[in-house]
Every structure is written in structure tokens, then in C-alpha cells.
Amino acid sequence: MSKKDEKYKNLANKILDEIGGKANISSVTHCMTRLRFNLKDESIPNDDNIKSINGVLGVNRSGGQYQIVIGQTVPKVYDALIAISGLTKNAPIDENLDKDLTKKEPFSWKKLGSAILNKLAGSLTPLIPILVGASMFKMFVAIFGPTMLNWLSTSSDTYKLFTLVGDAGFYFFPIFLGYTASKQFHTSPMISMLLGAILLDPNLTSIVKAGKAFSVYGIPMKLVSYSSTVIPIILAVWVMSYIEPLVKKIVPDSLSVVLTPTVTLLVMLPITLTVVGPAGAFLGQYVSDGILAFSKSGGIWSILGIAIIGALWELLVMTGMHLILISTMMMIFATAGHENFISIGGLVASMSVAGMCIGTALALHNRDEKVLAWGYFVACFIGGVTEPALYGLAIRYKRPFIGMMLGGFAGGLYAGIVHLDAYSLVPVANFLGLSACIGGTTANFINAIISAGITIVVAAIATYIIGVEPKTGNSKESSKNLKLVEA
């Protein structure tokens, strides 16, 4: 075993011990920088003890998850954790393997918002690779097609192929969501995917296009197109998570294999096609259209909205409140194919972190602290990892937070004024995030670069002028943490 692998294994072992071991883990996944645990007992971990582990950059409790900030080496630590714990990789496990999943937790208004957010994020997050892949092919068409470089004609096979791939990722989204939602609601993945396929069936699509009346068991069906939708299938799978267990109780065990999926579908068809499907389509379209209308209004509120998101985005990330915005952004991308509000605010916010790093590095006098600040800049602007800078500079010194927010606000303000638009979903926080704005006109991408430049310059100057408030800390420990992040 290499020294690096041994280092990741030791770090994973320490984390596992501190959170109560495998027995206290319901499920674990990771994002770009954090290990994200769903714990059975959240009172077991001691935040201070975990923060003191060499290699841990911070701890956050949010959205029902216990999040441990590692940095860009988190995939290696995650793999080591899975290896030593024996947990299933990249898949949630039941809270208790012998738990009766037909028993739902008691309803609580207090937990309702958090529960909805968790389920929505849990269903959408695993599908980011699909959206990214489809978006990239759409971006290829935009760059190499007639709208920009004109290397590909609309009649060429390559142009048609790339268009096909890009459209497929979005059109069949309800089927993909059927699978991920089933994992969140503990119901049959295959039947859930079939429900998604029913919503996209060519026969149903033809009925909707024809505009002729149709009924399900005599119940009138509202004519709705479900391609690229998000909410309808999630609602349908949620309802099915209650229906399927009831069917299993009624159907004899000897006939369960045949009758359970059949009876479940018989019950779910009218519920899905006449109730939750149309309701979910209306809700999703209402939210998406509302945000798109707000962002395209051209008024001062639209411009200020992007600026405010740019200023507050990193704060929302640290508290986990950004998940609802990300979920909404993904819905808009899935339905409209572009988005010019939330994604733009998030883009300038990531650039503001890079600007804050520059300003802090210039303002600091201690050589070791300067090196750390420049290291955080590289990790952010090149590596796309903002947590080291947030925890190592913004939280540590406090004042850089103001410079970062001012930079995000300034960049967002410019982006709002020029109506900057994102044509693909590029989930990185580095300079490559600007490629999301490739599409439409060449001026759009140029404005993206200008917006990023304004953000970085304003954040750097504001941070430098405001200054920092160094507090005593262990620079050697910080250096060790940085080295682990960059390993």
C-alpha cells in the first residue's frame, strides 16, 4: 500500500471512530469536497474532535446530513471509508436493514421543509452526470454549429448525433428520476422507472399532441407533456411508496411476484395520470416559469436578484440552504435547456472566492499565511474547490467575507445588466465554469469573462482595502491540511 493510500485509510478510520462507527451510519456519499453522512444518532459526533483530525477542514450539520469537509481528495477518503466499513459504495442503505419500510415516520410540520429538501436533493443530485453529459453535447453543437464556429452544418451526421445525445439526456429525465426517487422513498426501482416510461410513452405523447379528450378508468385526464419534467415522477414515486407496501400485505406471498407490480400499477395509473402528474407538472412549470419570468423581466429586481445570489451564495452553501436553489436550477435546465439566474449567481460567487484569496494574500504579512492564501487561490480557481478558502480565510479572518460578498455582488450586477445566460450545466467552481455561458451569441461568453473579471478584481481590491484580522492559529496544522487538499 502506498503512503498516500495509507494516509487516506488512517483519516477514514479516525473519522469512522468519531462518528460512532458503521453502526451509526444510515448512508454515506460525497460531493466534490465533503463526506456527507446520514447518521442514526447525530449527537454522537463531537464536532471539535473531528475538526482536530489532521486532514479535516471543517464540519457542517445541514439538511439532515452530517458533512465533513475534506477538500478535493474526498473521493480517495470516501473509497478508503467504504473499504474499511464495508458499506455499499455510491448507494444509500436502509436505516435498519430489518426495519419495516411500510412504517413511515410520523408527520411533523417542523420537519416538513427539511424532509422535502432532502428528498428532492437526494433524487436530483445523483443525476448531475446525466445533465452534465447532455449539456456538454448541447454545448458542442452550440460551439461547432452554425451559431458560432460553423464547423458543423445542421445537415451533418455529427451535428445530428450530438443533438440526439443532448436531447436524450433531458427528454428521458423522468425515467432516470424514477430510479433515484425510488431509492429515496424505499420502493421498487423498476416499477418507478416504468411509471416514468409511461409518462413518456409515444402513444401518450400522441394523445396529448392531438388534444383529444382521454380518460383513465372513466376519470378525465388532463393533457400534459411530461418530457423533461421533474416534479410529476417524484410525486408519483412518493405516493407509490405508500401504495406498494399495502399491496404486498394484501397479495398472497405465492402470487406476489406477479400480482404486486400489476396491482400497484393498476392503482397508480389513475393517481399518476389524473392527479399527481398534472399537479406536479403545473407546480414544476409554475416554479420554473416564475423564476425565468423574474430573471427575464429586465427590471431592477431581476438584476439585483442575481447580484444578491452572487453575494450570498457561499453563505448558503455553508448552511446547506443552496440545495433548494440548485434543485430549482436543475428543473429549469431540464425544462428550458438554459438558465440565467441561479447558475449565474453561483458562477460569479465562485469567482469572488478566488478574488478574496488574492486580496487576502496581498494583505497578509506573515509569509506562511501568504503561501496558504495563494495555495487556496490555486485550489479554488484551478481545482474548483472553494471550501479551503472559505474555512481557511473567510471564516478564520472574518473580514475577507465582506470583500468576497462585494465581489460577488458586483459581478452579479454586471451579469444581470447584460442578461448573461448559461446554456449548459457545468458543476465546477473553477475557471472552466465560464464554459457554461458558451452558446447563443459570442457576446454572451465575452460578457461572462468580463463578469468574472469584475468579480475577481472587486473582491481582491475590497478584501485588500478592508484588510484581515489575523488570529492566533496553528499555521503548521493549516499547512498540513492544505497539503492534503492538494495531494
Active site residues: 31
SS3 call for 61: strand
Q: Pick from 312, 276, 103: which is nearest to 174 by CA? A: 276
Give the length of the chain: 487
Backbone φ and ψ for 158, nearest 5 degrees, come out as: -65, -45
| Cell of residue 131, nine digits | 445533465
Name the packing angle between helices 3-18 and 74-85 (round to 10°).
70
Rounded distance between C-alpha atoms, residue 99 and residue 95, angstroms: 7
Cell numbers for 216: 383513465
CB atoms within 10 A of CB 89: 11
Q: How far is CA 16 from the centre of its chain?
A: 25
Terminal CA-CA length for the chain: 16
The string of DSSP letters for 415-475 reads HHHTT--B-S----SSGGGGGGG-SS-HHHHHHHHHHHHHHHHHHHHHHHHH--------H
Output the furthest CA–CA distance in the chain (Å, rounded).
77
DSSP state of 105: P
